[in-house]
A and B are shown apart, each in its own frame.
Chain A
């Protein structure tokens, strides 16, 4: 770690009795809290509580904020995360006082606008995905996965024939096995060498004790699962469901509907596809869409419409119940709604087309300098590896660190696991050709450096405020809080 230019902790700036504001002299008599509040509710003095002036506090947090790297500062091609630009108009909409000041206990008759927005957003998501019904409740993607798997489990239990297994290919997202496990299923993994799942591989393990196949399409290598319809037929023939992780929906909007390909359940990551802040900027939101057969199992409350009035519906005896306090991350729904309305059907389609075009442009430009394990048209992201550079002792981590010297956020690295030394790049549609060309130029320079002067890459980053972190000790001996 470089020294000298690091902002001290706020605790370290503290000086005894220094305060940020002067309070007017109180015109009430002093009350000793010890005399009026019982001891168990009284807090002792906080050891090391920082005492700073207002200016010191402002400078401290402004400096920290300037060290931030986000989509608003530069290119952030973090594969699988869809770090697209979040239009500021979404923020304006979320701050409309009718939304931002609404109380979750406010009665439905006083929340008609909010309920209408939720009802319509469910409809838009159904339309985009080809599903019959949607819940907006789950807090983020993996929560949505859990919601979907719980509904599938509930379906088989309601039929009196519980099923135990879920098939997951190794090209699915890493959270899929965890979500299945949490919902009580045993995971059967199928391995694919060619980048996409073959119907034969599914047929060889699909049986009548298998509740579902869980896949990600486009998959985590950025490839479209072209056999999806045939695979879905195999699963359906044995009475199972097809769950599609919709985290990569940014490649498909307005072009193809997963519901038409035999998918029965899908989760949407509003914070990815529908341009709401994430990666530290805000909570996620993971609505789930289902085909008619699973609708009775959706979480409560449902948003229902009678005539022109909207209401919360609790009368769903088969429901898996409530998954989140109140109604999900409502502020995120407002932003996603605003985005969908601003884009319209044609705009969403164009966004997906541009996302796919940008990823293919990067892949084509870089595929000679970097190893491309699956050389075919990709979707919204492409996966390269360090195979060529590793011969000179330069690995994926080094390449990622060196990109920081050129002002870019590194791509996702060492994921997916099926590609050793993976470098997973997702540019999204919101970047200009000039920005993407700058990124390509930086990647080409790094490839040259790795060949000619590998030490430069191995010792990167040099221009950042902090150099390489001790990742081993950060995991083994984490220091999670400041102590006086």
Chain B
């Protein structure tokens, strides 16, 4: 299971990567592994706003439907529409091609509230 050091993580199993005030969001390797084969994903529209700890979309696997929770608050400036047609990418490359949304955040400090790779890894071990 992969836990890239440069990312931050939420307890709802989303990752966040900050580049200046733009934060890219996706779901973790652990999340895709627990979900199993992803068959459907619903993402917000460009220009909409997302709020930390609130849902921004839905991901559906052969096992279950799960809400996606935003790790940050801000405006969605880009959406990875390619996932709509090829949701299996979420299983293949959760930290790369399967990024979901890019959010312009107002308060970069929110990122610091998220878990580090080590903290998230420990959280996942406990949850198992």
A residues contacting B by CB (< 8 A) are 387, 397, 413-415, 417, 420, 471-472, 475-476
Q: Is the CB of B64 within 8 A of A415?
A: yes
A13 to chain B, nearest CB (A): 32
Q: Hey, which chain B residues are within 8 Å of A387, CB to CB?
A: 128
Q: Which of B37, B64, B127 contacts A472 (CB 8 A)?
A: B37
Q: Which of A414, A471, A476 contacts B64 (CB 8 A)?
A: A414
Q: Hey, which chain A residues are within 8 Å of B64, CB to CB?
A: 414-415, 417
Q: Hey, which chain A residues are within 8 Å of B127, CB to CB?
A: 420
Smallest CB gap from A415: residue in B: B64
A190 to chain B, nearest CB (A): 14
Q: Hey, which chain B residues are within 8 Å of A414, CB to CB?
A: 63-64
B127 to chain A, nearest CB (A): 8
One digit per residue, 1 when the CB lies within 8 angstroms of any chain A CB and 0 when it does not, for chain B 55-74 equals 00000101110100000000
Smallest CB gap from B35: residue in A: A414
CA–CA, A471 to B88, complex, Å? 13
Q: Which of A415, A417, A420, A475 contacts B62 (CB 8 A)?
A: A475
Q: Hey, which chain A residues are within 8 Å of B120, CB to CB?
A: none
A210 to chain B, nearest CB (A): 18
CA–CA, A294 to B118, complex, Å? 52
- Identify 20 residue pairs between A and B in the complex whose beta-carbon atoms are under 8 Å apart, listed by A's number: A397-B36, A397-B63, A413-B63, A414-B63, A414-B64, A415-B64, A417-B64, A417-B66, A420-B34, A420-B127, A420-B128, A471-B37, A471-B62, A472-B39, A472-B62, A475-B40, A475-B60, A475-B62, A476-B40, A476-B87
Q: Hey, which chain A residues are within 8 Å of B63, CB to CB?
A: 397, 413-414
Q: Hey, which chain A residues are within 8 Å of B60, CB to CB?
A: 475
Q: Hey, which chain A residues are within 8 Å of B88, CB to CB?
A: 472
> Do most interface residues of chain A lie in helix, strand or loop, or is the interface mixed?
helix
CA–CA, A280 to B63, complex, Å? 21
CA–CA, A476 to B40, complex, Å? 8
B81 to chain A, nearest CB (A): 16
> Do most interface residues of chain B lie in helix, strand or loop, or is the interface mixed?
loop
Q: Hey, which chain B residues are within 8 Å of A472, CB to CB?
A: 37, 39, 62, 88
Q: Which of B36, B39, B66 contacts A476 (CB 8 A)?
A: B39
Q: Hey, which chain B residues are within 8 Å of A476, CB to CB?
A: 39-40, 87
Interface centre among B34, B37, B66 (most CB of A within 10 A): B37
B12 to chain A, nearest CB (A): 11
CA–CA, A420 to B34, complex, Å? 8
Smallest CB gap from A413: residue in B: B63
CA–CA, A397 to B88, complex, Å? 19
B40 to chain A, nearest CB (A): 7
CA–CA, A413 to B127, complex, Å? 19
Q: Hey, which chain B residues are within 8 Å of A420, CB to CB?
A: 34, 127-128
Q: Hey, which chain A residues are within 8 Å of B39, CB to CB?
A: 472, 475-476
Q: Hey, which chain A residues are within 8 Å of B34, CB to CB?
A: 420
CA–CA, A475 to B39, complex, Å? 7
Q: Hey, which chain B residues are within 8 Å of A413, CB to CB?
A: 63
Q: Hey, which chain B residues are within 8 Å of A397, CB to CB?
A: 36, 63
CA–CA, A397 to B64, complex, Å? 13
Q: Hey, which chain A residues are within 8 Å of B66, CB to CB?
A: 417
One digit per residue, 1 when the CB lies within 8 angstroms of any chain A CB and 0 when it does not, for chain B 99-128 equals 000000000000000000000000000011
B88 to chain A, nearest CB (A): 7
A411 to chain B, nearest CB (A): 14
Smallest CB gap from B86: residue in A: A476
